[in-house]
Amino acid sequence: MYKNSLVHRIAKITVDILFFGGIGFLLCVPLWRKIVMDAYGLDVISSLPLIILIVLAGLLTLYILFNLKRMYKTLLGANPFVWENVKSLRKIAVACALIALMFLIRAVVFFSVGTVLIVIIFSVGCLFCLTLKDLFKQAIAYKEENEWTV
């Protein structure tokens, strides 16, 4: 009935690469602290909030990618309309909202156009995931109703 496409497989491989690359990036953050300090002209104490922001945003991004990996398992298993995907989309939306909030606070303290763009992108991502979550809930309801119909 459902055939996996090449695009699905490429997207799953891309998510896997980003997930494991993100882990590597987070492990290297302490090594890059000096680069961040030099780039922004900060000392050790004043660079700490920026490093914490980068680590927290990185952890939340890994959480988003982890949930996407879980969703791809159901997609490639030809059963994407399950309650686990609804939960994953809600979790992704919350993570996007947290990242947007963290960078909004950063934009107030230290304004840059890139920070505002991050806030906009993750806010739209949050709204997109919430909308998609509701669509999945409706599709699951239709699917379950159809399964009971003889």
Say if residue 150's pLDDT is above 80. Answer: no
The pLDDT score that the predictor gives to residue 113 is 96
Copy the structure tokens of residue 88: 């994953």
Measure the CA–CA gap between 30 and 87, rounded to whole angstroms.
33
Please check whether residue 118 is in contact with residue 99, taking contact to mean a CB–CB distance below 8 angstroms.
yes
Q: Is residue 12 part of a domain?
A: yes
Whether 39 maps to a domain, the answer reads: yes
CB distance 100 to 127 below 8 Å = no
Band of the pLDDT at 3, cuts 50, 70, 90?
Answer: low
Over residues 136-145, the pLDDT tens digits come to 999 999 988 8
Task: Flag whether 29 is in a domain.
Answer: yes
Give the residue, 150 or 98, on which the prediction is more confident: 98
Let me know if residue 28 belongs to a domain. Answer: yes
> What range does the domain containing 22 cover?
6-148
Q: What percent of the chain has pLDDT over 90?
A: 65
Number of domains forming the structure of the chain: 1
Residue 1 in any domain: the answer is: no
pLDDT value for 117: 97
Residue 115 lies in a domain: yes
Query: How sure is the predictor about 1, in pLDDT bands with cuts at 50, 70 and 90?
Result: very low
Higher-confidence residue of 115 and 37: namely 115
How far apart are alpha carbons 126 and 33 in whole angstroms? 30
